[in-house]
Amino acid sequence: MTDHKLFIYNTLSRTKELFRPVNPGHVGMYVCGPTVYGDAHLGHARPAITFDLVFRYLKHLGYKVRYVRNITDVGHLEHDADEGEDKIAKKAKLEQLEPMEVAQHFTNRFHQAMDKLGCLPPSIEPHATGHIIEQEQLVQQILDAGYAYESNGSIYFDVEKYNKDHKYGILSGRNLEDVINASRELDGVGEKRNQVDFALWKKAQPEHIMRWPSPWGDGFPGWHCECTAMGRKYLGAQFDIHGGGMDLVFPHHECEIAQAVASQGEQMVRYWMHNNMITINGQKMGKSLGNFITLDEFFNGSHEKLEQAYSPMTIRFFILQAHYRSTVDFSNEALQASQKGLERLMEAFAQMERVEPVADGALNEAYAAELTEKCYAALDDDFNSPIMISHLFDACRVINQLADKKQTITPEGLEALKQTFRTFAVDILGLRAEAEGNADREEAFGKAIDMLLELRAKAKAAKDWATSDLIRDELGALGFEIKDTRDGATWKLAK
Ligand code: ZN
């Protein structure tokens, strides 16, 4: 086990805290996953990549990490309040599909996008619809504790009552008066006692297709319930990290804290982590602004705001080049700069294979050890990936000098440097050579060999046996098997 002092910024305490897991050696991490009613976009990429870095780094440090990321397939209503249509049911109605067909389709699409971005799959990916019983149990516990009430077949959380005994708003820093004032503009309270109360269980109207039986009649769970219920089921009544985008702090995570405290008397989560948001050319992303770009559109460059396609690794690197708590602004210029930066890093990585070490090299293992320490120091400071990347860029300059023979390194030093790059660039940042780039390169490589064989055929035709044999022998020495056939020659690369 590691002796690292890892500091994590806790949204709840608003300070960086030394990370101490509930169970030594183990980490439980819950991250709010997508509502699966549309294609994954940048808003999905940032938390996925942020918590992928956290997952990878904690695993690297030797923790046994259980990473739970849910799929929201019911209960997320159109206006994020307790009114409006279920987002998935609405899509299903439009497309004349079963709601679960919509959810499955976009879950598959989400997985494909995450895979392209190099995000490791979570340890458990629970679906809200698969945990209706657990959510009903949570609602019952809150009712039993006296912090919820039934109204016309729906169950609401009694925020005012809760606020008297505990404090509502500790995560977002809002107090109840602010929340009440902010919500006064909206329509009347309807069946709620107070506008700020939120639904734990909603009665299903006759036309509502996603419905389950419950002690309070047919209905469906409120959105906030699923994460509290599933987090507790898979990670226990107390677990380490709960993450998501900053937009989830209020009301979603604030409500989760209230539900946890109301149902079990104490909080469930030790460290609340939130990634900041992404803007596009300085604007909030939104369908009405015409800047809503899906990940696939980034990957194939088909959106009108994009000057070119951007590979998944460019997107990943771009996101990791900012600290997760900073805002990120997407623009073509910024993405092109990231693309160049990533190329520089991967080229240096490849270039190390061509460096010829010398026994009395000026650099040795100490250089790699120092680089490793700096990278760890950056990551231990609340996962500061941009600082870590800047250290790798410094090393790229040294690698270029080594390749140009303007600097020397010992064999052990070179091995250690390669290992440092593998650890930080590949294992922890999750960067990998682009599949598409490789395909292009392989194609060019194949064409070059074909061209050499054509030259050999011409030499043979001109009875220039010396040139013909030279090409065959040299290719053979490089590991190519050349076979002469009636129609010319074929080649393959021997293993
Ligand atoms: Zn959630």
User: Dihedral (C-alpha) 262, 266, 269, 274: value to the nearest 10 degrees?
Assistant: 60
In a domain, 355, yes or no: yes
Are residues 305 and 407 located together in one domain of the fold? Answer: yes
Supply the pLDDT for residue 284.
Answer: 84
User: What is the whole-number distance in angstroms between the Cα of residue 239 and the centre of ligand 1?
Assistant: 15
With contact defined as beta carbons under 8 Å apart, do 29 and 240 qualify?
A: yes
User: What is the whole-number distance in angstroms between the Cα of residue 283 and the centre of ligand 1?
Assistant: 25
Are residues 84 and 146 located together in one domain of the fold? Answer: yes
With contact defined as beta carbons under 8 Å apart, do 155 and 199 qualify?
A: yes
Q: Is residue 13 predicted with pLDDT exceeding 60?
A: yes
User: What is the whole-number distance in angstroms between the Cα of residue 322 and the centre of ligand 1?
Assistant: 24
User: What is the whole-number distance in angstroms between the Cα of residue 42 and the centre of ligand 1?
Assistant: 18
Q: Is residue 79 predicted with pLDDT exceeding 70?
A: no
User: What is the whole-number distance in angstroms between the Cα of residue 164 and the centre of ligand 1?
Assistant: 25
Are residues 338 and 449 located together in one domain of the fold? Answer: no
User: What is the whole-number distance in angstroms between the Cα of residue 120 and the centre of ligand 1?
Assistant: 19
Q: Is residue 231 predicted with pLDDT exceeding 80?
A: yes
> Mind listing the pLDDT tens digit for each residue in 260-318?
999 999 999 999 999 999 998 888 887 777 778 999 999 999 999 899 999 999 999 99
Domain that holds residue 187: 7-275
> Mind listing the pLDDT tens digit for each residue in 367-416?
999 999 999 999 999 999 999 999 999 999 999 999 999 999 999 999 99
Q: Which of these ranges, 98-102, 182-186, 361-365, 454-458, has the smallest mean pLDDT?
A: 182-186
Supply the pLDDT for residue 98.
Answer: 87
Given the structure tokens 């991490």, which residue do they identify?
29
Q: Is residue 44 predicted with pLDDT exceeding 80?
A: yes
User: What is the whole-number distance in angstroms between the Cα of residue 30 and the centre of ligand 1?
Assistant: 8
List the beta strands (DSSP E) in 256-337: 269-275, 278-280, 283-284, 328-330
Contact partners, residue 471, CB within 8 Å, separation at least 6: 452, 453, 455, 456, 459
User: What is the whole-number distance in angstroms between the Cα of residue 54 and the centre of ligand 1?
Assistant: 18
User: What is the whole-number distance in angstroms between the Cα of residue 33 and the centre of ligand 1?
Assistant: 7
Average pLDDT over residues 4-23: 97
User: Which of these three, 275, 310, 332, is where a domain ends?
Assistant: 275
Contact partners, residue 156, CB within 8 Å, separation at least 6: 82, 148, 149, 191, 192, 193, 197, 198, 199, 200
Token pair recorded at residue 194: 């107070």
In a domain, 248, yes or no: yes
User: What is the whole-number distance in angstroms between the Cα of residue 227 and the centre of ligand 1?
Assistant: 5
User: What is the whole-number distance in angstroms between the Cα of residue 323 and the centre of ligand 1?
Assistant: 22
User: What is the whole-number distance in angstroms between the Cα of residue 186 and the centre of ligand 1?
Assistant: 24
Average pLDDT, the chain: 92
Are residues 49 and 193 located together in one domain of the fold? Answer: yes
Supply the pLDDT for residue 78.
Answer: 65
| Residue 135's pLDDT band (cuts 50, 70, 90) | very high
User: What is the whole-number distance in angstroms between the Cα of residue 97 and the centre of ligand 1?
Assistant: 26
Are residues 174 and 306 located together in one domain of the fold? Answer: no
Q: Is residue 124 predicted with pLDDT exceeding 90?
A: yes
How far apart are alpha carbons 8 and 101 in whole angstroms? 39
User: What is the whole-number distance in angstroms between the Cα of residue 435 and the centre of ligand 1?
Assistant: 33
Are residues 258 and 348 located together in one domain of the fold? Answer: no
User: What is the whole-number distance in angstroms between the Cα of residue 293 and the centre of ligand 1?
Assistant: 23
Are residues 382 and 345 located together in one domain of the fold? Answer: yes
User: What is the whole-number distance in angstroms between the Cα of residue 328 and the centre of ligand 1?
Assistant: 22
How far apart are alpha carbons 299 and 311 in whole angstroms? 5
In a domain, 346, yes or no: yes
Cα 293–Cα 296–Cα 301 angle in degrees, nearest 5: 75
Domain CATH number, residue 47: 3.40.50.620
In a domain, 394, yes or no: yes
Are residues 419 and 302 located together in one domain of the fold? Answer: yes
Q: Is residue 175 predicted with pLDDT exceeding 60?
A: yes
User: What is the whole-number distance in angstroms between the Cα of residue 115 and the centre of ligand 1?
Assistant: 22
In a domain, 120, yes or no: yes
User: What is the whole-number distance in angstroms between the Cα of residue 410 and the centre of ligand 1?
Assistant: 51
User: What is the whole-number distance in angstroms between the Cα of residue 347 and the centre of ligand 1?
Assistant: 39
User: What is the whole-number distance in angstroms between the Cα of residue 222 and the centre of ligand 1?
Assistant: 11
In a domain, 283, yes or no: no
User: Which of these three, 405, 428, 451, is where a domain ends?
Assistant: 428
User: What is the whole-number distance in angstroms between the Cα of residue 5 and the centre of ligand 1?
Assistant: 28
Residues pairing with 381 in the sheet:
7
Q: How many residues does the structure list for the chain? A: 495
As a whole-number percent, the residues of the chain with pLDDT over 70 amount to 95
Are residues 445 and 345 located together in one domain of the fold? Answer: no
How far apart are alpha carbons 48 and 71 in whole angstroms? 13
Residues pairing with 150 in the sheet:
155
Supply the pLDDT for residue 492.
Answer: 81
Amino acid at 388: M
Max CA-CA distance within the chain?
99
As a whole-number percent, the residues of the chain with pLDDT over 90 amount to 72
Q: How many domains does the chain have?
A: 3
What pTM did the predictor assign?
0.86
Amino acid at 242: H
User: What is the whole-number distance in angstroms between the Cα of residue 77 and the centre of ligand 1?
Assistant: 14
User: What is the whole-number distance in angstroms between the Cα of residue 340 and the centre of ligand 1?
Assistant: 36
> Mind listing the pLDDT tens digit for each residue in 143-161?
999 999 999 999 999 999 9
Are residues 213 and 101 located together in one domain of the fold? Answer: yes
Are residues 107 and 176 located together in one domain of the fold? Answer: yes
How far apart are alpha carbons 391 and 480 in whole angstroms? 40
In a domain, 181, yes or no: yes
User: What is the whole-number distance in angstroms between the Cα of residue 11 and the centre of ligand 1?
Assistant: 15
Are residues 314 and 382 located together in one domain of the fold? Answer: yes
In a domain, 418, yes or no: yes
Domain CATH number, residue 303: 1.10.730
